[in-house]
């Protein structure tokens, strides 16, 4: 077999090693345009888990690599004069140059031919090769040559970065967030061998220009950075090596294989440097290719297996890298945070590290985070213990004169079970059972302001006395038997009205018994849905009056809070999104106009809703569709409602148009809540695939929301909050006297269960290489 590999970086060299081990008879040649020791850049990092993989696949190179490594366990975050350190991270650093020399040596030993100063511009010369590996890096010439086949998507990010080195020793992966007269600068730094550290500097494009970095030589920009970070460098110089300022390109390729050619490493996909996974991905690609070549009967089948088997893992890493880079791009959102909360945000930005996970690794750090959170609660006039504080989930929140005992919320959820809009026994049991099991706040399902405002025939309403009486019964039950507050969500279905019950076909038009529907513009939801009537001023007045009348009834029922539903493509949302609002009058066109009617309704409600009771608005912070609402629009929408007196923005997303492309995942809507909260400076509630109390605490502690709503988890587990309270020892959680024996038992057992689980986790966790190394070098105790 003949294999040609273009590019002698980590991906090219490691694939040569693994393929040659597998097929000692194969003729394998690596073509590298540079000289053998001509590498640029400074260090690379690997996690312990990646090193375990290297050990398994080629132990000689693994041993040589690890002999050269610098190990560290801590991440240190420097921000506004404070430094926070978190241990247990298990990372290793190595010089890129040494890594490549080790891989070259090992490849030669195995009989791979290495051709240096061989700049390949045409793969035709490899016509007789069985396999051509394209490992030619981020600017891959061959990916570009076959751009129509590989279909790469290149997302050039806004921040500028430069990669430098220093002799400054470091004993932790170090993030420094530095305020300057021009704006924030960030340094990502780590040691990779004795006396050498990597320094990646990052800043936003405006700060870059203001700092006069544009057009400076490498030396001049290194001098500028050395000045900014001089206090930390302690006289150590910054070293340059092709350290130009650049923008990071996030690259994703639709296809990785063409005939017998395959893209590997940065050539096929990149991952932002802030998660230090570029070299890991490149070398793990090589492992995946070698595995596929081992298993499959033909090269063609192997390449197909490689692409199919590897894609998900690469996309997962890229997703984590995306989340991380976005955090760094928007660091100004957190710039006025308490340093410990800021550091918690840095640690948890990419979702892999959470509150509970940090509790195990760095309990003192989490204790500090909790204290800072409790102090913020105190500063808003609430009496809480800030010395031995409860976790953020169990900290109270005040909105106007309503105080919630904790931050867990039952999200509004249609039950499709009302008769003529009247909530019945099912609703009493449903809402009642959630209220008596600990949640701080429960929302009603979208309750419709008139008969023709309903989504389905099973939706609840609040336009007549029977409905009012039925809701009052539920509210009274909640108030009499729990400490939970209950909020009323009012809405109008708009063009999504007159549709079937969820279990008969979500959003599908009723075949019989429907009613006329309204919307901002006459655009049907499905092609075969009813064409809605475009609202004229008279219709707007009627709808507004219906909202006001329902709010008055809501107040008579005793609801503690009122939420206006302006999300999910329903009537008011249909005005806000440009995808559903194509009006030419004062209610269409720019966002300001599109917001006019929803704001009018909100203001009318605010006028009749008692001043001491809070109001929220639910928005879709993105339509997940081309030309639709984006996170930046959501900030403007939130600002407009905040000006009109909203106390909380309930940040949901999507459901505006059928062909939306939402990106689901754990906590997938939380980034929008974070953006709205920290840019519009308004309290937010986040929601969406949040399933554990650990996630709730992580979100709250990082300042990404003020309340956390859970929908589906509450459908199956009304005791979500009570169980979490037992887990975290939040003994004050409300519980009806009838249930106290159960509460006492779960609280008692939880202490033990938690201890057992933590012990198990600690025992199961292998020692990091840094821990092993420090144990091995500890002097033996004198006998």
Ligand X SMILES: Cc1cc2nc3c(=O)[nH]c(=O)nc-3n(C[C@H](O)[C@H](O)[C@H](O)COP(=O)(O)O)c2cc1C
Ligand Y SMILES: Cc1cc2nc3c(=O)[nH]c(=O)nc-3n(C[C@H](O)[C@H](O)[C@H](O)COP(=O)(O)OP(=O)(O)OC[C@H]3O[C@@H](n4cnc5c(N)ncnc54)[C@H](O)[C@@H]3O)c2cc1C
**Would you tell me which residues interact with ligand X (CB under 6 A)?**
411-414, 445-446, 489, 502, 565, 567, 618, 652, 687-690, 710-713
Q: How far is the CB of 652 from ligand X (least distance, A)?
A: 5
Of 444 and 529, which CB lies nearer to ligand X in the complex structure?
Answer: 444
Say if CB 213 and CB 160 are below 8 A apart. Answer: yes
DSSP category for residue 754: H
Rounded-to-integer distance, Cα 376 and Cα 537, Å:
45
In the complex, which residue's CB is closest to ligand X? Answer: 711
Partner touching 135 among ligand Y, ligand X, none, CB below 5 to 8 Å by kind: ligand Y
Decide: is 600 part of the binding site for ligand Y (CB under 6 A): no
Given candidates 3, 5, 28, 45, which one binds ligand Y under the rule CB under 6 A? 45
Rounded-to-integer distance, Cα 736 and Cα 437, Å:
8
Partner touching 693 among ligand Y, ligand X, none, CB below 5 to 8 Å by kind: none
Partner touching 265 among ligand Y, ligand X, none, CB below 5 to 8 Å by kind: ligand Y
- Strand extents, DSSP E, 664-781: 684-686, 707-710
Decide: is 269 part of the binding site for ligand Y (CB under 6 A): no
Given candidates 12, 152, 412, 713, which one binds ligand Y under the rule CB under 6 A? 12
- Strand extents, DSSP E, 393-510: 397-399, 402-404, 408-410, 441-448, 485-491
Given candidates 26, 44, 442, 490, which one binds ligand Y under the rule CB under 6 A? 44
Say if CB 415 and CB 430 are below 8 A apart. Answer: yes
* Of 576, 466, 452, 470, residue with least CA distance to 510: 452
Query: Burial, 371: exposed, middle or buried (Cβ in 10 Å; 0-12, 13-18, 19+)?
Result: middle
Give Cα 430 to chain centroid, integer Å: 31
Q: How far is the CB of 225 from ligand Y (least distance, A)?
A: 14
Rounded-to-integer distance, Cα 171 and Cα 71, Å:
8
Rounded-to-integer distance, Cα 639 and Cα 636, Å:
5
Residues annotated catalytic, as ranges: 570
The owner of tokens 């001023």 is: 537
Of 140 and 519, which CB lies nearer to ligand X in the complex structure?
Answer: 519
Partner touching 119 among ligand Y, ligand X, none, CB below 5 to 8 Å by kind: ligand Y
Residues 6+ apart with CB under 8 A from 740: none
Q: How far is the CB of 747 from ligand X (least distance, A)?
A: 26
- Strand extents, DSSP E, 471-527: 485-491, 518-519
Q: How far is the CB of 563 from ligand X (least distance, A)?
A: 8
Residues in the interface with ligand Y (CB under 6 A) total 34
Q: Which stretch binds ligand Y (CB under 6 A): 26-34, 229-237, 447-455, 640-648?
A: 26-34
Q: How far is the CB of 399 from ligand X (least distance, A)?
A: 18
Sign of torsion over alpha carbons 616, 617, 618, 622: negative
Decide: is 265 part of the binding site for ligand Y (CB under 6 A): yes
Given candidates 19, 31, 199, 299, which one binds ligand Y under the rule CB under 6 A? 31
Partner touching 712 among ligand X, ligand Y, none, CB below 5 to 8 Å by kind: ligand X
Given candidates 20, 32, 91, 157, which one binds ligand Y under the rule CB under 6 A? 32
Of 321 and 730, which CB lies nearer to ligand Y in the complex structure?
Answer: 321
Partner touching 466 among ligand Y, ligand X, none, CB below 5 to 8 Å by kind: none
Partner touching 9 among ligand Y, ligand X, none, CB below 5 to 8 Å by kind: ligand Y
Partner touching 34 among ligand Y, ligand X, none, CB below 5 to 8 Å by kind: ligand Y
Of 137 and 152, which CB lies nearer to ligand Y in the complex structure?
Answer: 137
- Give SS3 for 703: coil
Which tokens belong to 236? 């150590």
* Of 278, 276, 274, 279, residue with least CA distance to 329: 274
Q: 175 to 204, contacts with ligand Y by CB under 6 A?
A: 200
Q: How far is the CB of 91 from ligand Y (least distance, A)?
A: 9
Q: How far is the CB of 118 from ligand Y (least distance, A)?
A: 6
Q: How far is the CB of 44 from ligand Y (least distance, A)?
A: 4
Rounded-to-integer distance, Cα 191 and Cα 200, Å:
12
Given candidates 3, 4, 5, 10, which one binds ligand Y under the rule CB under 6 A? 10
Of 280 and 773, which CB lies nearer to ligand Y in the complex structure?
Answer: 280
Phi/psi at 490 (nearest 5 deg)? -105, 140
Which tokens belong to 307? 């692409």
Decide: is 34 part of the binding site for ligand Y (CB under 6 A): yes
Q: How far is the CB of 230 from ligand Y (least distance, A)?
A: 22
Q: 128 to 147, contacts with ligand Y by CB under 6 A?
A: 135-138, 141
The owner of tokens 């993030």 is: 175
* Residues 282-321, mask of contacts with ligand Y (x by CB under 6 A): x---------------------------------------
Of 247 and 433, which CB lies nearer to ligand Y in the complex structure?
Answer: 247
DSSP category for residue 730: -
Q: How far is the CB of 19 from ligand X (least distance, A)?
A: 44
Q: Which stretch binds ligand Y (CB under 6 A): 277-285, 302-310, 493-501, 691-699?
A: 277-285
Per-residue burial over 552-589, b if 16 or more Cβ lie within 10 Å, else e, is ebbeebebbbbbbbbbbbbbbbbbbbbbbbebeeebbe
**What separation in angstroms does the CA of 673 have from each of 333, 351, 565, 651, 676?**
12, 15, 16, 6, 5
The owner of tokens 């000692």 is: 24
Which tokens belong to 143? 């990916």
* Residues 150-179, mask of contacts with ligand Y (x by CB under 6 A): -----------x-x----------------
**What separation in angstroms does the CA of 739 have from each of 433, 455, 595, 734?**
12, 37, 47, 10
- Any bridge partners for residue 164, and if so which? 199
Phi/psi at 723 (nearest 5 deg)? -65, -40
SS (H, E, C) 528-554: CCCCCEECCHHHHHHHHHHHHHHHHHH
Q: How far is the CB of 46 from ligand Y (least distance, A)?
A: 7
Of 563 and 633, which CB lies nearer to ligand X in the complex structure?
Answer: 563
Partner touching 509 among ligand Y, ligand X, none, CB below 5 to 8 Å by kind: none
DSSP category for residue 28: E
Q: Which stretch binds ligand Y (CB under 6 A): 4-12, 201-209, 542-550, 757-765?
A: 4-12
Decide: is 278 part of the binding site for ligand Y (CB under 6 A): yes
Residues of the shown chain interacting with ligand Y in the complex, contacts defined by CB under 6 A: 6-12, 31-34, 44-45, 118-120, 135-138, 141, 161, 163, 200, 265-267, 273, 276-280, 282
């Amino acid at each position: 077999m003949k294999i040609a590999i273009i590019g002698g970086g980590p991906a090219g060299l490691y694939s040569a090693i693994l393929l040659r081990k597998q097929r000692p008879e194969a003729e394998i040649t690596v073509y590298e345009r540079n000289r053998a020791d001509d590498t640029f850049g400074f260090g690379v990092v690997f996690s312990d888990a990646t090193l375990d993989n290297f050990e398994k696949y080629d132990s000689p190179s693994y041993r040589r690599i690890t002999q050269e490594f610098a190990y560290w366990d801590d991440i240190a975050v420097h921000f506004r004069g404070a430094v926070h350190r978190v241990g247990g991270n298990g990372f290793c650093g190595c010089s890129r140059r040494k890594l490549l020399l080790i891989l070259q040596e090992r490849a030669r030993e195995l009989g791979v031919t290495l051709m240096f100063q061989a700049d390949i511009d045409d793969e035709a010369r490899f016509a007789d090769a069985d396999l051509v590996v394209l490992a030619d890096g981020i600017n891959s010439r061959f990916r570009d040559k076959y751009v129509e086949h590989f279909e790469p998507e290149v997302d050039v990010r806004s921040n500028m970065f430069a990669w430098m080195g220093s002799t400054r020793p470091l004993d932790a992966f170090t993030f420094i967030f530095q305020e300057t007269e021009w704006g924030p600068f960030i340094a990502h730094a780590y040691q990779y061998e004795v006396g050498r550290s990597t320094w990646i500097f990052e800043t936003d494009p405006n700060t870059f220009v203001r700092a006069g970095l544009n057009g400076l030589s490498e030396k001049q920009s290194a001098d500028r950075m050395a000045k900014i970070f001089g206090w930390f460098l302690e006289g150590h110089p910054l070293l340059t090596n092709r350290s130009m300022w650049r923008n990071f390109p996030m690259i994703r390729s639709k296809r990785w294989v063409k005939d017998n050619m395959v893209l590997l490493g940065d050539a096929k996909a990149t991952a932002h440097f802030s998660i230090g996974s570029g070299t890991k991905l490149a070398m793990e690609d090589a492992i995946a290719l070698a595995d596929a070549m081992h298993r499959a009967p033909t090269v063609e089948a192997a390449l197909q297996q490689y692409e199919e088997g590897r894609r998900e893992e690469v996309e997962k890493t890229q997703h984590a890298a995306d989340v991380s880079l976005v955090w760094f791009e928007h660091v100004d959102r957190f710039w006025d945070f308490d340093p410990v909360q800021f550091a918690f945000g840095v640690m948890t930005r990419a979702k892999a590290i959470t509150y509970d996970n940090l509790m195990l690794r760095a309990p003192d750090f989490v204790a500090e985070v909790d204290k800072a959170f409790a102090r913020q609660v105190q500063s808003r006039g609430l009496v809480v213990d800030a010395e031995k504080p409860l976790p953020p989930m169990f900290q109270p929140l005040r909105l106007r004169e309503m105080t919630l005992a904790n931050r867990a919320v039952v999200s509004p959820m249609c039950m499709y079970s009302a008769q003529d809009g009247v909530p019945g026994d099912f609703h009493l049991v449903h809402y009642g059972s959630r209220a008596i099991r600990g949640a701080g706040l429960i929302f009603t399902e979208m309750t419709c302001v008139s008969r023709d405002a309903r989504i389905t025939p099973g939706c609840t309403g609040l336009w007549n006395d029977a409905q009012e009486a039925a809701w009052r019964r539920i509210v009274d039950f909640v108030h009499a038997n729990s400490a939970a507050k209950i909020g009323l969500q009012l809405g109008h279905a708009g063009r999504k009205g007159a549709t079937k019950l969820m279990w008969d076909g979500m959003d599908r038009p009723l075949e019989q018994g429907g009613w006329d529907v309204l919307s901002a513009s006459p655009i049907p939801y499905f092609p075969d849905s009813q064409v809605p009537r475009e609202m004229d001023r008279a219709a707007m007045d009627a709808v507004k009056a219906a909202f006001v009348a329902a709010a008055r009834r809501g107040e008579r029922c005793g609801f503690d809070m009122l939420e206006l539903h302006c999300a999910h493509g329903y009537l008011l949302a249909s005005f806000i999104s440009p995808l559903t609002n194509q009006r030419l009058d004062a209610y269409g066109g720019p966002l300001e106009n599109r917001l006019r009617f929803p704001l009018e309704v909100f203001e009318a409600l605010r006028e009749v809703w008692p001043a001491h009771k809070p109001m929220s608005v639910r928005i879709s912070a993105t339509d997940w569709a081309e030309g639709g609402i984006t996170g930046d629009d959501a900030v403007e929408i939130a600002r407009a409602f905040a000006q009109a007196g909203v106390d909380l923005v309930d940040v949901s997303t999507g459901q505006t148009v059928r062909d939306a492309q939402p990106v689901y995942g754990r906590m997938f809507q939380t980034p929008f809540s974070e953006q709205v909260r920290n840019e519009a400076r308004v309290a937010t509630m986040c929601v969406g695939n949040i399933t554990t109390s650990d996630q709730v605490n992580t979100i709250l502690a990082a300042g990404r929301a003020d309340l956390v709503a859970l929908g589906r988890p509450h459908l199956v587990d009304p005791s979500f909050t009570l169980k979490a309270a037992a887990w975290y020892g939040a003994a004050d959680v409300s519980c009806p006297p009838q249930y106290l024996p159960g509460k006492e038992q779960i609280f008692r057992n939880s202490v033990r269960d938690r201890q057992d689980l933590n012990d198990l986790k600690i025992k199961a966790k292998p020692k990091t290489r840094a821990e092993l190394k420090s144990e091995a070098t500890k002097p033996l105790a004198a006998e």
